[in-house]
Amino acid sequence: MIQPLTDAKPYTLTPGSNGVIETQTLEVSIGPQHPSTHGVFRMDCVLDGESVVALKPVMGYLHRNHEQLAERMAWLGSMPYTDRLDYFNSMTNNWAYALAVEKLAGIKVPDRAEYIRVIMAELTRLLNHSCVIGFMLQDLGAWGTPLLYAFRERERILDLYEAVSGSRMMCNYMRFGGVRVNLTDENLATAKDIATRFPRFLDEFEKLLTNNEVLLARTQRVGVLPKELAINAGISGPMARASGVDYDLRKVDKYGVYGRLEFRVPLGDIGDVYDRYYIRVLEMRESIKILQQALRDIPQGPHIAPEVKLRNFKIPPGDGYGRIEGPKGELGFYLVSDEGGKQPYRYHVRPPSFINLTILEDMCVGHKVADVVVILGSVDIVLGEVDR
Amino acid sequence: MGFIGKGLFEGMVVTARNFVGSYFDKERLVTVQYPEERVQVPENSRTFPFLVFDKDSDPVASMRCVACKICEVECPPQCIYIVMDRDEKGKPQQRPKVFDIDISVCMQCQICVEVCPFDAIKMDNNYEKSQYGRFDELVEHLPELLKSNEFYNKIKPTEATAVDAKLKADAEKKAKKAAPAAKPAATAAKPAAPAAPKPAPVAAPTAKIAIPDDAPFTPEQRQWLSGYLSTVAASGVAPAAAAPVAGTPAAPATEAPAGNWPWHDPGLGMQRRLDLAKETPIADKLMAAMAQTDCHACGYDCRGYADAIATGAETDLSLCLPGEAETANMLKKLMQEAGKL
């Protein structure tokens, strides 16, 4: 039962003694079945005229009991389920889970596997960011054009995913101690081709959008997230960096081989929707740099640590937290192993979408209701990850 | 040099270039008219699992699946259901009677393929599996699941070639291993040997004792064995005469060369296997109680699991999946008899 946010006043059209018609606030439920909510998500808005007075995000429509499911099956069994968290970025989800288990079990990952992981993660970042921009423009009313251009590029990356892992989106590619299938020279050539082509697409994309007056008018100074608030609310990923928080786990943790790769972390200064758009464009440019370095440096060797067993994989008691910089922010898995160690005693996901969404009301209050969908679009959520 | 609407105008130029380009440039025209045109799926592409069999003449007998149930246990969404086939006496047949995959539950994760030690289950790449119903139509049974090795070779040539090579190497290794190990066993079988059904053509003219036709020996080994046995028989020395049961090794199994376990044959029934292991130490008896598939479902091969139980390293007696309750109960009984439980 959703409690109304305000006390409803009786509606009247009779002008008061001063001749002004008395008005009341209106509670509007956007979603759960609404195209601009990016899935089954509901926003309980209280409107004064067209302005938002209060907003309450309502989650849980896509709850699948992910964490409890993982606690009843073997360590490997929940790997394919992580694909279904943020179904745009199954590769990075796999990586975060594998990293947590590797930390807990003390597994060393071969160099080639680390490079393959970096390549896959950066390709994922490219496809996620370009599609997110497309979806945000879709919410703005740019029907289809930017989104379909983004999808056209994304398809090349998904083709590579399918050739390597067997599936376009539900890759289930990473394994504890490495990756499931080695990259062939042909796959590497495709990845190189994508890395050389993508900047051209990005230039075109930017020409279409960056200086577009409609986009500027609709996004600048809209949904401002101040730096202090972003830090206090635990926001991570491009959203935090758009507000000027210099926090990128690839630099902070240097997990994988990110310590060996050269790249910069772009930062915004205002933290409005436009910054969040442009940060993603700049991050894609950095991702291409990382990709090119990784494709140049990738060594030969095994793609998976040979000592890791596929079945009857046991982890000594203990707990561990593995986190990576996913395209949406800090994606972490907290795992506890107990006696026996056949399956996790506790399995917790720290989903970036969910935590970034908690700040939605602070960004929306005071703006028009039409801006709410744009602000939501700029947060970059996937409901599979929000609700788990 | 800017003017109002410059950004918009530039955007329009981009869309115009894409629109016009889609008529000339393959890069910009990416649509495929699906039912008429089809995209070639990559070799690695996966949809739903199928079971591989080797001989077209008899798919059921030549299927690689031994119903060890590893995939049933490991399947994350639990969409596989297996019942082992048994003959009228209840002897396991090392193949599934029922093998169902609920493809409305299957999430195409390929874990069944990865954990299968027999290369029996593989991923198909058929993406057109729509059905008219939502219930029984979406459960695939054994007849639909069985596909030939040729089909597997056709859809995934690289992978299938590697698997075929591996299986062939394994078979050769097994044959090589079986040959030396068979020597003492054959020696032990001497008292029973004269009762062999019919004398096999043997190269050595003095041979009086024949090796059964179906014994897994190369001609050279056969020749050597026949000669050896005949000599032994002629000299009147019966090295294995003390063996009470035909086929039981004269020496305790611990002294026998590795791999010499007459009960290690999945075709034998439980009682027969235990009879063969009657006079042996507890570890061998435990091993005889297992399903003998060496499927590693328990995390060991049959020998390893038996040793682990005997030494106390493994306390769980219910790990033998293909042996089902029969093995678990027998293990418990044996352990109780030995006073270890």
| Per-residue model confidence as pLDDT tens digits over B292-317 | 877 777 777 788 888 888 888 877 88
Q: How confident is the model at residue B250 (pLDDT cuts 50, 70, 90)?
A: very low
**Distance in Å from the first CA to the final CA of chain A:** 21
Burial class (CB in 10 A: 0-12, 13-18, 19+), B40: exposed
**B284 falls within a domain:** yes
Among B162, B182, B205, residue at a domain's last position: B162
With contacts defined as CB-CB under 8 Å, which chain B residues touch A213?
A: 4-5, 7-8
Considering only the beta carbons, identify the residue of B4, B7, B115 that sits closest to A311.
B115
Segments in B97-147 forming alpha helices (H): 111-115, 142-145
Closest residue on chain A to B42 (Cα): A163
Question: Taken in order A26, A31, A32, A38, is the CA torsion positive or negative?
Answer: negative
pLDDT tens digit sequence for B92-134 = 777 888 889 998 899 988 889 988 888 889 998 888 888 888 8
Which chain A residues have any C-beta within 8 angstroms of a chain B C-beta?
73-74, 76-81, 84, 145, 149, 152, 155, 159, 162-167, 170, 172, 180-181, 204, 207-216, 310-312
> Per residue in A299-338, is it b (16+ CB within 10 Å) or e — as a string?
eeeebbbeebeebebebeeeebebbbbbbbbbbbbbbbbe
Nearest-5° angle of CA A334, CA A336, CA A337? Answer: 145
Are A166 and B110 inside 8 Å of each other by CB?
A: yes
A73 closest CB neighbour out of B6, B43, B76: B76
Q: Identify the burial level of B73 via C-beta atoms within 10 angstroms of its C-beta, where 0-12 means exposed, 13-18 middle and 19 or more buried.
A: middle
Q: Which residues from chain B sit within 8 angstroms of residue A94, using beta carbons?
A: none
CB B281 within 8 A of CB B252: yes
pLDDT at position B304 is 84
Taking the C-alpha atoms of residue B319 and residue B297, their distance in angstroms, rounded to an integer, is: 7
Return the pLDDT at A190. Answer: 92
Q: Which of B15, B109, B123 sits opposite A145 (nearest CB)?
A: B15
Inter-residue long-range contacts of B327-331, CB under 8 Å, 24+ positions, other chains counted = B327/B270, B327/B289, B327/B290, B327/B291, B330/B270, B330/B274, B330/B289, B331/B286, B331/B289, B331/B290
Question: Are A211 and B6 an interchain contact pair (Cβ–Cβ within 8 Å)?
Answer: yes
Q: Which residues contact A247 (CB under 8 A, 6 or more apart)?
A: A236, A240, A241
Q: What are phi and psi of A250, to 5 degrees?
A: -65, -30
Is a pLDDT exceeding 80 seen at residue B42? yes
pLDDT confidence band for B237 (50 / 70 / 90): very low
Amino acid at B157: P
User: Are the beta carbons of A212 and B13 separated by less than 8 Å?
Assistant: no
Residues of A in contact with B304 (CB under 8 A): none
Torsion of CA A212, A215, A220, A224, to 10 degrees: -150
B122 within some domain: yes
Establish if B158 touches chain A: CB-CB under 8 angstroms.
no
Give the gap in angstroms from C-alpha A11 to the nearest C-alpha of chain B.
44
Could B6 and A149 be called an inter-chain contact, meaning their C-beta atoms sit closer than 8 Å?
no
- pLDDT at A9 (0 to 100): 58
Task: Place B239 in a pLDDT band, splitting at 50, 70 and 90.
Answer: very low
Q: Residues of B150-179 as b/e, b for ≥16 C-beta within 10 angstroms? A: ebbbebbeebbeebeeeeeeeeeeeeeeee
Residues spanned by the domain of B98:
49-162
Q: Angle A53-A382-A115 (CA atoms, 0-180°, nearest 5)?
A: 135
Q: Tell me if B153 is assigned to some domain.
A: yes
Q: Find the residue in A nearest to B319 (Cα).
A: A312
Of B11, B14, B109, the CB nearest to A80: B109
DSSP B33-75: -TTTS-PPPPTT---SEEEEES-SS-TTTTBS-----HHHHH-
- Check if B1 contacts A (Cβ < 8 Å): no
Q: Is B74 a residue whose pLDDT tops 50?
A: yes
Q: Mean pLDDT for chain B?
A: 76
- pTM metric for this prediction: 0.79
Task: Calculate the CA A295 to chain-centre distance.
Answer: 24
B7 occurs within a structural domain = no
Residues A40-81: tens digit of each pLDDT: 888 888 888 888 888 888 888 889 889 998 888 888 888 999
Token pair, residue B27, equals: 């890069």
pLDDT attached to residue B255? 39
Looking at residue B150, which CATH number applies to its domain?
3.30.70.3270
- pLDDT at res. B241: 40
**Whether A208 and B15 lie within 8 Å, measured CB to CB:** yes
Nearest CA distance, B245 vs chain A (angstrom): 38
The answer to whether the CB atoms of B111 and A216 lie below 8 A apart is no
Domains of chain B: total? 2
Nearest CA in chain A to B114: A310
What is the side-by-side strand order in the sheet with B49-53?
B121-123, B49-53, B146-148
Largest CA distance in chain A: 85
Residues of A in contact with B123 (CB under 8 A): 166
**Minimal Cα–Cα distance from A180 to chain B, Å?**
10
Collapsing DSSP to helix, strand or coil, B200 comes out as coil
Q: Within the 284-303 window of chain B, which residues sit less than 8 Å (CB to CB) from chain A?
A: 296, 299
C-alpha to C-alpha distance for A45 and A375, rounded to whole angstroms:
14
pLDDT in tens, B80-94: 998 888 778 777 777
Q: Which residues of B touch A210 (CB under 8 A)?
A: 7
Three-state SS at B184: helix
B259 touches chain A (CB under 8 A): no
**Residue where a domain terminates, one of B96, B130, B162:** B162
B332 shares contact with chain A (CB less than 8 Å) = no
Give bridge partners of residue A46 from the DSSP assignment: A27, A54
Q: How many CB atoms lie within 10 A of CB A231?
A: 14
Position A321 scores a pLDDT of 92
**Cross-chain Cβ contact B14/A211 below 8 Å:** no
H/E/C letters for each residue in chain A?
CCCCCCCCCCCCCCECCCCCECCCCEEEEECCEEHHHCEECEEEEEEECCEEEEEEEECCCCCCCHHHHHHCCCCHHHHHHHHCCCCCCHHHHHHHHHHHHHHHHCCCCCHHHHHHHHHHHHHHHHHHHHHHHHHHHHHHCCCCHHHHHHHHHHHHHHHHHHHHHCCCCCCCCEECCEECCCCCHHHHHHHHHHHHHHHHHHHHHHHHHCCCHHHHHHHCCCCCCCHHHHHHCCCCCHHHHHCCCCCCHHHHCCCCCHHHCCCCCCCCCCCCHHHHHHHHHHHHHHHHHHHHHHHHHCCCCCCECCCCCCCCCCCCCEEEEEEEEECCEEEEEEEEECCCCCCEEEEEEECHHHHHHCCHHHHHCCCEHHHHHHHHHHHCCCHHHHHC
CB contact under 8 A, A172 and B18: no
- Specify burial of residue A368 (Cβ count, 10 A radius: 0-12, 13-18, 19+): middle
pLDDT at B6 over 80: yes
Q: Which of B7, B18, B28 sits opposite A212 (nearest CB)?
A: B7
Spell out which residues of chain A touch residue B108, defining contact as CB-CB under 8 Å.
Answer: 167, 170
Measured CA distances, A349 to A386, B57, B73 (Å):
10, 51, 25
DSSP state of B100: E
pLDDT of residue A349: 92
Low-confidence ranges of chain A (pLDDT < 50): none
Cβ of B157 under 8 Å from any chain A Cβ?
no
B33 touches chain A (CB under 8 A): no
Partnered with residue A30 across adjacent β-strands are A43
Tokens 């790997």 belong to residue: A79
Secondary structure tally for chain B: helices H, strands E: 11, 6
Of A146, A116, A143, A117, nearest to A131 by C-alpha is A146
* Domain final residue pick, B162, B188, B209: B162
Give residues with Cβ within 8 angstroms of B180, minimum separation 6. B257
pLDDT higher than threshold 80 for residue B212: no
Q: In sequence order, which residues have a C-beta less than 8 Å from that of residue A55 and are 6 or more positions away?
A: A43, A44, A45, A46, A360, A361, A364, A365, A372
What is the spatial distance between Cα A239 and Cα A225, in angstroms, rounded to a whole number? 9
Q: Which residues of B touch A190 (CB under 8 A)?
A: none
pLDDT computed for residue A293 by the predictor: 92
Residues of B in contact with A215 (CB under 8 A): 7
Residue B186 maps to a domain: no
In a domain, B145, yes or no: yes
What pLDDT score was predicted for residue A370?
Answer: 87
Please tell me the predicted confidence (pLDDT) of residue A7.
64
CB contact under 8 A, A80 and B7: no
Pairs across A and B, CB distance < 8 A: 81
Nearest CA in chain B to A73: B76
Do you know the residue count of chain A?
388
Contact B7 A213 (CB under 8 A): yes
Q: Which whole number is the average pLDDT over B320-341?
A: 80
For residue B181, the model assigns a pLDDT of 56
Task: For residue B53, tell me if it sits in a domain.
Answer: yes
In the prediction, which pLDDT does A114 show? 92
CB pair distance less than 8 Å for A74 and B74: yes
B216 to chain A, any CB pair closer than 8 A? The answer is no
The Cα–Cα gap between A17 and B14 comes to 58
Q: What does the pLDDT read at residue A123?
A: 93
Give the mean pLDDT of B144-162: 87
The answer as to whether B244 is a domain residue is no
| 3 state DSSP class of B26 | coil
Please give the pLDDT value at position B238. 44
Distance CA A87, CA A384 (A): 7
A76 contacts B111? CB cut-off 8 A: yes
Q: Which residues of A touch B107 (CB under 8 A)?
A: 80, 84, 170
Which residues are paired to A52 by β-bridges?
A47
Fill in the DSSP letter of residue B99. Answer: E
Could you tell me the CA-to-CA distances from B20 to A201, B12, B14, B29 in Å, in that order? 17, 12, 10, 10
